[in-house]
Structure formats: structure tokens, C-alpha cells
Amino acid sequence: MQGMADQMGQPKSLNQLRERFTSARLDNQLFAAWQNSDLARQSCTLLAHRYLAPDGHPAKRLEAYLETALASGDYQRHPERLAAGIEEAGQRYARSAAFRALVLEAYDYRCAATRLRCITPDYRYLVEAAHLIPFSVSQDDHPTNGLALTPNLHWAMDNHLIAPGPDHRWHVSPTVDALVPDNRWLCELDGTRLVLPRELRWQPSADALAWRQAHLQR
């Protein structure tokens, strides 16, 4: 660890860090050891307090961030746990991060309605992870309760103007006036096929799709 810290010096920004390093490789034994959650957490605590942020409050903030990242990773490896209700308030952030990561990856970062896809060089995505049955209702963060959507369509679905149905097609609320030119972008979705993940295990559940269609504005 000390050798790595000496090499890193004290870069003051992400850009400075990128100037010094273009890639990294972990020792195979170290990588294997970090598959153990307890050892990974101990290592993060050591890095946070001794090398990355040795002074009090910043170290605690960094440790909290790393703990959330590790917990999110645990959920991603065991997605079945995301279907259960939250028992502790601290779980919400980790579950939300895991839900987002799993849903976006399942849809290959492509919108489930328009097929639009864009990833910037610094890995920002056009699409968002949207719950089919809202979390406040279902307490369900499993990827089968989600879709990847562009922000405008995420908003439209959350406001019950559009809905994917169990028939794997998009449905548009009759309250959206097709004669208004500004509504064309929504009306053109009606009857189009839902873009599905390639892996069956990540495809949206029929119950979640039925819930969403049942709540379409009439």
C-alpha cells in the first residue's frame, strides 16, 4: 500500500489523477481476497483513513461512500435481495444504485421505447432506470420492476401518460390529444413494441406491466 501511495503522490483533482495513470491492474490474490465483503470493507477503511483522506471528516465521508458502493455491489451480485422491503434506512442508497446499474446494463443503456442510446466518454448515459410499480408502492428494486427510459419518457410514464403493457407494447393515454402537434412525440409511441433485455431473467414482470397499464390515465 505504501508503495502505491508514494507513486500516486497527492493529486488534487481527477484530471491530475488521469494524467498520472491510464490503467491499473490488481494482483490476482488481492483481487480474489477482495471478493470477500468483509476484507473489502476493511481495505476501504484503511485506504480512506490512511492514504486518501487522513483528516477526520473527509475520511468518514469517503468511507460512507465506499460502504454504499460495496453494499450496492453486494445487491448486484444477489439481485433477489432487491425484491424485499427495506429494513434499514441506509439500504436505500445502495439499493437504488444497484437497481440503476442492473436495469441500465440489462437494456444495454438503450431506451425501452425509442431505442435511443448515448454514452459519453466519461460514462454518462442518456437513459435512466425507471420503476414500473413505484418503489413507494412496491418496495421492489428488482430489475424486473424496471425499464431504461430517456428522462422525458420517464416523466411521461410516471405521470401515467404512457404505459408498457403485458402485451409488450406501448400504450398512450386517451387524455393526450393527438390533434395537438406538440403531443406527436408521445402519440407516435402508441402500439409500438417495447424494447426488451436479451436475457429473459431481466425482462419486465407481467404483473408490473399490468400495474402500469392499469394506472394509465383514462
pLDDT tens digits for range 156-206: 999 999 999 999 999 999 999 999 999 999 999 999 999 999 999 999 999
Domain assignment present for 101: no
The cell numbers describing 210, all together, are 399490468
pLDDT, tens only, 2-46: 455 555 555 556 566 667 667 778 889 888 888 887 888 788 777
* Backbone CA torsion sign across 204, 208, 209, 212: negative
Q: Do residues 114 and 67 share a domain?
A: no
Q: Do residues 63 and 115 share a domain?
A: no
Q: Do residues 125 and 65 share a domain?
A: no
Total structural domains within the chain: 2
Q: Give the pLDDT score at 2.
A: 47
Nearest to 100 by CA among 65, 130, 129, 127: 129
Q: Do residues 132 and 208 share a domain?
A: yes
The mean of the pLDDT values for the chain is 88
**Which residue stretches of 78-205 are H helix?**
91-106, 135-138, 151-158, 184-187
Angle at 129 between CA 66 and CA 84, to 5 degrees: 70
Q: Give the pLDDT score at 37.
A: 78
Q: Do residues 71 and 166 share a domain?
A: no
Q: Do residues 207 and 115 share a domain?
A: yes
Domain assignment present for 88: no
Domain assignment present for 200: yes
Q: Is the pTM of this model over 0.85?
A: no
Question: Comparing 73 with 183, which gets the higher pLDDT?
Answer: 183
Distance CA 3, CA 156 (A): 52
Q: Which domain, by its residues, includes 196? A: 109-214
Asked if residues 216 and 132 have their Cβ atoms less than 8 Å apart, the reply is no
Q: Do residues 55 and 126 share a domain?
A: no
Domain assignment present for 100: no
Q: Do residues 48 and 134 share a domain?
A: no
The percentage of residues in the chain with a pLDDT greater than 90, rounded to a whole number, is 58
The percentage of residues in the chain with a pLDDT greater than 70, rounded to a whole number, is 86
Q: Do residues 72 and 116 share a domain?
A: no
Q: Do residues 120 and 167 share a domain?
A: yes
Distance CA 166, CA 15 (A): 47
Q: Do residues 135 and 195 share a domain?
A: yes
Distance CA 118, CA 6 (A): 38
pLDDT band at 1 (very low <50, low <70, confident <90, very high): very low
